[in-house]
């Protein structure tokens, strides 16, 4: 879900105070537990639970010493993401906190850090587990984790005297946008920095910051990912989306706080705070690198299409054409067909698969219940498997 964004803009001139990671992890977990508690009803758009979450976030910003406010808006009725929902026109709000810059030359430029705080509510549209409609979907990783990391970044940077500032609405003045969406499942220190190709300076910058941080950092890709940073990329701003990758609980009612890696959230927050600091104080401009917008899919707007249940490797397929998968969902058509972690999908039915967009397209062109042949490369061997596609969501 990308409908409700909260933003804190950071501009800095003195080094952020360093806190112990353990204290940071405890605070992050407390935030996740509040936001992903059943009482917040899954933070569905328009719900009382989402309103309570918003109030909590504003309060947390204020307690950190930042100037925080709500920005009310109604979800546009023609937004592509709401065509199949009844969310168009629903009133909701962003939470915006500002850390003003001090440099006369640079305070007109902004570093934006964002994380959406809404989730699926009680399931239904967008959920991967249609049988669970009515059950609270807590979204601990998606995206209480990013929200908690955002609050930790704010706590680390609040009280500083930054060079660059923040103006949330003035897109022209945005220097870079850092998005944290699903950062709660750090495994084997593997952190994805999607959008690293959107500024020439990003790869080296991320590399140098990672020398002390020591993530298994996968920095790659353009800015067209399915989250809040894409609109900033469309406005030709460098963007980064930090992400600890997909997992079986994604968009399911099992995405609960008990499965959050709290130390991982704190580590990501520390890394993003350091990056925000560096960006807000480096002297020169960033060199924006554009990329073509992915083609609208043939079935766009006509629904989700059929369900396969693969977990794609979001870092890509290692330069070869196809979609590499890191696993399959339990009980899914993919599992029943025999697909496994490490497989490279190269065709679904008659359609060649070179990337994730092809795959979305192929699944949208099929109906639940269709039988399709899936061609995969497993090691050197090519294998053909037969899957009976399922239903994606109710
Ligand atoms: Zn999300």
> How does residue 81 score in pLDDT terms, banded at 50, 70 and 90?
low
**Class of residue 48 by CB neighbours under 10 A (exposed 0-12, middle 13-18, buried 19+):** exposed
Residue 303, pLDDT > 80, answer: no
Summarize pLDDT for 181-237 with one digit per residue, the tens: 999 999 999 999 999 999 999 999 999 999 988 999 999 999 998 888 998 999 899
Q: Could you tell me the distance, in angstroms and rounded to a whole number, from the CA of residue 142 to the centre of ligand 1?
A: 5
Q: Could you tell me the distance, in angstroms and rounded to a whole number, from the CA of residue 265 to the centre of ligand 1?
A: 15
Round the average pLDDT of the chain to a whole number and report it: 85
Q: Could you tell me the distance, in angstroms and rounded to a whole number, from the CA of residue 242 to the centre of ligand 1?
A: 11
Q: Could you tell me the distance, in angstroms and rounded to a whole number, from the CA of residue 79 to the centre of ligand 1?
A: 17
Q: Could you tell me the distance, in angstroms and rounded to a whole number, from the CA of residue 380 to the centre of ligand 1?
A: 35
The Cα–Cα gap between 130 and 174 comes to 39
Alpha helices in 253-355 (DSSP H): 262-281, 333-337
Q: Could you tell me the distance, in angstroms and rounded to a whole number, from the CA of residue 146 to the centre of ligand 1?
A: 8
Contacts of 18 (CB under 8 A, 6+ apart): none
Distance of CA 4 to the CA centre of its chain: 12
Query: Does residue 71 sit in helix, strand or coil?
Result: strand
Q: Supply the pLDDT for residue 165.
A: 56
Summarize pLDDT for 340-369 with one digit per residue, the tens: 989 999 999 888 898 888 888 888 888 888
Q: Could you tell me the distance, in angstroms and rounded to a whole number, from the CA of residue 51 to the centre of ligand 1?
A: 18
Summarize pLDDT for 168-179 with one digit per residue, the tens: 333 366 789 999
Q: Could you tell me the distance, in angstroms and rounded to a whole number, from the CA of residue 106 to the centre of ligand 1?
A: 31
Task: State the DSSP code for 259.
Answer: G
Q: Could you tell me the distance, in angstroms and rounded to a whole number, from the CA of residue 143 to the centre of ligand 1?
A: 5
Q: Could you tell me the distance, in angstroms and rounded to a whole number, from the CA of residue 139 to the centre of ligand 1?
A: 8
Q: Could you tell me the distance, in angstroms and rounded to a whole number, from the CA of residue 226 to the centre of ligand 1?
A: 8
Number of C-alpha atoms within 13 angstroms, CB side, residue 204? 5
Q: Could you tell me the distance, in angstroms and rounded to a whole number, from the CA of residue 238 to the centre of ligand 1?
A: 20
Residue 1, pLDDT > 60, answer: no
Q: Supply the pLDDT for residue 13.
A: 34
Q: Could you tell me the distance, in angstroms and rounded to a whole number, from the CA of residue 326 to the centre of ligand 1?
A: 19
For tokens 């023609």, name the residue.
78
Q: Could you tell me the distance, in angstroms and rounded to a whole number, from the CA of residue 371 to the centre of ligand 1?
A: 31
Alpha helices in the chain (DSSP H): 21-35, 48-63, 146-157, 202-213, 229-234, 262-281, 333-337, 356-364
Q: Could you tell me the distance, in angstroms and rounded to a whole number, from the CA of residue 357 to the centre of ligand 1?
A: 18
Q: Supply the pLDDT for residue 168.
A: 35
Q: Supply the pLDDT for residue 271.
A: 97
Highest mean pLDDT, choosing among 19-23, 26-30, 362-366: 26-30
Q: Could you tell me the distance, in angstroms and rounded to a whole number, from the CA of residue 120 to the centre of ligand 1?
A: 10
Residue 2, pLDDT > 70, answer: no
The Cα–Cα gap between 275 and 259 comes to 27
């Amino acid at each position: 879900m990308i409908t409700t964004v909260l933003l804190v803009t950071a501009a800095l001139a003195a080094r952020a105070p360093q806190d112990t990671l353990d204290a940071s992890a405890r605070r992050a977990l407390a935030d996740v537990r509040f936001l992903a508690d059943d009482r917040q009803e899954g933070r569905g758009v328009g719900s009382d639970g989402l309103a309570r979450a918003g109030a909590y976030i504003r309060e947390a910003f204020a307690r950190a010493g930042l100037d925080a406010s709500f920005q009310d808006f109604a979800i546009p009725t023609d937004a592509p993401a709401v065509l199949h929902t009844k969310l168009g026109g629903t009133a909701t709000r962003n939470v915006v906190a500002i850390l003003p810059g001090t440099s006369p030359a640079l305070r007109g430029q902004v570093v934006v850090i964002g994380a959406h705080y809404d989730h699926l509510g009680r399931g239904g549209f967008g959920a991967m587990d249609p049988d669970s409609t009515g059950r609270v979907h807590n979204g601990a990783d998606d995206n209480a984790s990013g929200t908690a990391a955002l609050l930790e970044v704010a706590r680390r940077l609040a009280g500083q005297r930054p060079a660059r500032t923040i103006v949330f609405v003035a897109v022209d003045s945005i220097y870079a946008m850092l998005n944290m969406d699903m950062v709660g499942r750090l495994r084997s220190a593997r952190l994805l920095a999607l959008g690293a190709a959107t500024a020439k300076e990003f790869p080296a910058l991320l590399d140098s910051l990672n020398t002390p941080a020591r993530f298994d950092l996968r920095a790659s890709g353009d800015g067209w990912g399915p989250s809040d940073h894409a609109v900033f990329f469309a406005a030709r701003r460098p963007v980064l989306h930090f992400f600890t990758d997909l997992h079986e609980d994604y968009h399911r009612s099992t995405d609960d706080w008990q499965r959050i890696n709290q130390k991982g959230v704190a580590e990501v927050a520390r890394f993003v705070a350091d990056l925000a600091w560096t960006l807000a104080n480096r002297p020169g401009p960033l060199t924006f690198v554009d990329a073509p917008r992915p083609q609208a899919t043939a079935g766009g707007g006509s629904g989700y299409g059929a369900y396969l249940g693969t977990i794609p490797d979001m870092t890509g397929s290692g330069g070869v054409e196809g979609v590499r998968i890191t696993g399959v969902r339990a009980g899914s058509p993919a599992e029943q067909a025999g697909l496994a972690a490490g497989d490279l999908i190269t065709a679904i039915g008659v359609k060649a698969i070179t990337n994730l967009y092809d795959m979305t397209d192929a699944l949208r062109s099929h109906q639940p219940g269709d039988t399709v042949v899936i061609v995969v490369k497993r090691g050197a061997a090519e294998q053909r498997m037969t899957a009976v596609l399922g239903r994606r969501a109710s």
